[in-house]
Amino acid sequence: MFTKKLEEAKPLVTFSDLFLLPGKTDVDPDNVNLSTNITKKIRLNSPFIASPMDTVTGADMAIAMARQGGIGILHRNCSIDQEVAMAKKVKRAESFVMKDVITISPEITIGKAKELMRESNISGLPVVKNGGDVIGILTKRDVRFADNDSLVSDMMTTKLVSAKANISIEEAKKLLHKHRIEKLVIVDDDNHLEGLVTVKDLERRGKYPFSTRDEEGSLALGAAIGPFDEARALALDPYVDVFVVDLAHGHNMNAVKSAARIAEKVDAEIIYGNLGSDHSVADIVSVMEDVAGLRVGIGSGAICSTSVVTKASAPTLYSTIQVASGVRELGLDIPVISDGGIKNPGDAALCFAAGASAVMMGSMFAGCRESPGQLLAIEGKMMKSYRGMGSRGAKAVRYALDRYSKPAKGIPEGVEGFVPFRGNVSDVIDEFAGGLRAAFGYAGAADIAGMWEDAKFGRISPQGLRETAPHDILITPSSGEEYS
Ligand code: XMP
């Protein structure tokens, strides 16, 4: 029996084991199409997802990712209220019709209104009474030289330009221009406030033409939840497009069953993971038929110590091949998301050749300006903090919030440290997308489906790997050594 186990040991291929074989092509890398679906509904122009980790994805990262055509998944190492506040911030960042509008009542003082404008960084507030009837709008222009003790009702503009929710973007632009105003109030037939269209939002929309948006024009957003955290899911559901059920070991049937119960109660789609084997797919879909995406890879992340501590591992490339095969063998069409250990565009290209629809990255985005961590100089180099969600520090936060979680003293499965500062998310995505396009070009693929079909692997030995890397040269810093 044990001899058989050894004979059946699987080759756990990692990024260092395989290369892409150059193939025949008539595709110019500039014309490679990187758009992809990560669920049934969500389509990205850039196949990149920021990990749900507390040093990677807060509201600013999620906003930046969606603007660049990817998506961010808010971390859950915080209270439910804090995660909801992050989600609201993303959804409010820009939209066509903003739904979650901050309003004021006519009886409050101009001083209070100014305070609210300052706190929420808003230049105009609809004035409502009786819980939603719009009677005016108060803008910065109205309050600039007004006495702080006067009332909103005395200073507000009552000549309102309003429209109905079905107004098109072009019609809204025309109305805003005609009346030379900054804000258009959206009301229903009974003059109840339904939303707000602002010039600022329309301008931003033009600035990010490849951004990922929901049906209403707001930036698209994902949020992590635990498989047993129904309260969190219900609180977040109005503000997110997709949940990522966030587990180190997703092939846990109690967790899938619980996640499936949550799935029935929410509107957002569900990505489930992490998985690492072909046969796990049948088990997951037998319980959660509607699962919209599968996140794969166990123990490969830059901050993971799971493989060392437990000797359990399904490296990301291996997991991608396994799960993507499992999905296809069942005749299903569920996007597979490769997660963990992606250090450069080549690693990502291997994931696409292995059947992935998108790649999730922690370390790469933790180094960006928009991640929550602090920027600091260490030995003359600019760095940002980065830690595993199973690290001692991250677990301590969780334990402080939820005394029923496992004590922080339990063995850590992640480490804490610093990653090089990489600039803006837009720079990292541009560089990664450029590298990916080049890789697709070599492999002879015009798009991600082309990589699934046409890209071929070659195996390389450890000696070969060394030989094919830059050699016999003292490399000039910043000439390409940042992608190892
Ligand atoms: P990269 O390499 O992109 O990996 O930084 C990010 C992914 O690593 C996973 N993750 C962990 N895995 N212990 C682990 O074994 C941890 O503490 C930990 N924290 C995050 C996660 O899948 C993430 O997307």
List, as one string, the DSSP characters of 88-132: HHHHHHS-SSB-S---B-TTSBHHHHHHHHHHHT-SEEEEEETTT
**The ligand 1 atom nearest the CA atom of 361:** 3
Report the amino acid identity of residue 108: I
Q: Which stretches in the chain have pLDDT values below 50?
A: none
Q: Compute the distance from residue 247 Cα to the ligand 1 centre, in Å.
A: 11
The residues pairing with 55 across neighbouring beta strands, listed in sequence order, are none
444: phi > 0 → left, psi -120 to 50 → alpha, else beta; which? left
Q: How buried is 472 (Cβ within 10 angstroms: 0-12 exposed, 13-18 middle, 19+ buried)?
A: exposed
Q: What is the DSSP letter of 156?
A: S
Q: Is 299 in the pocket of ligand 1 (CB under 6 A)?
A: yes
Rounded CA-CA distance 29/438 in Å is 5
Nearest in space to 25 (alpha carbons), one of 481, 451, 476: 451
Nearest in space to 72 (alpha carbons), one of 461, 421, 362: 362
Count CA atoms closer than 13 A to 195's CA, side-chain side: 20
Q: How buried is 145 (Cβ within 10 angstroms: 0-12 exposed, 13-18 middle, 19+ buried)?
A: exposed
Q: Is 301 in the pocket of ligand 1 (CB under 6 A)?
A: yes
Q: What is the pLDDT of residue 479?
A: 67
Pocket test for ligand 1, best of 77, 271, 304, 319 (most atoms within 8 A of CB): 304
Q: Which tokens belong to 284?
A: 């997951």
Report the amino acid identity of residue 32: V
Q: Compute the distance from residue 340 Cα to the ligand 1 centre, in Å.
A: 6
φ, ψ at 23 (rounded to 5°): -125, 170
pLDDT tens digit string along 74-114? 999 999 999 999 999 999 888 788 877 889 999 999 999 99
CATH number of 110-199, picked from 3.30.450.270, 3.10.20.90, 3.30.530.50, 3.10.580.10: 3.10.580.10
Told to judge if 144 belongs to the known catalytic residues of this protein, a careful annotator would answer no
Told to judge if 304 belongs to the known catalytic residues of this protein, a careful annotator would answer yes
**The ligand 1 atom nearest the CA atom of 341:** 2
Rounded CA-CA distance 235/301 in Å is 29
What are the distances in angstroms from CA 453 to CA 51, 143, 440, 443, 457? 27, 62, 12, 11, 12
Q: Is 390 in the pocket of ligand 1 (CB under 6 A)?
A: yes
Pocket test for ligand 1, best of 49, 51, 323, 338 (most atoms within 8 A of CB): 51
**The ligand 1 atom nearest the CA atom of 295:** 22
Count CA atoms closer than 13 A to 215's CA, side-chain side: 4
Sign of the dihedral defined by the CA atoms of residues 327, 238, 74, 201, in that order: positive
Write down the domain spans for the chain. 2-94+219-483, 110-199
Predicted structure pTM score: 0.87
CATH number of 2-94+219-483, picked from 1.20.1440.230, 3.30.9.10, 3.20.20.70, 3.40.640.10: 3.20.20.70
Largest interatomic CA distance in the chain:
87
Q: Compute the distance from residue 110 Cα to the ligand 1 centre, in Å.
A: 49
Nearest CA to ligand 1 atom 24: 51
Catalytic one of 76, 295, 304, 387: 304
Q: Compute the distance from residue 362 Cα to the ligand 1 centre, in Å.
A: 7
The residues pairing with 21 across neighbouring beta strands, listed in sequence order, are 456
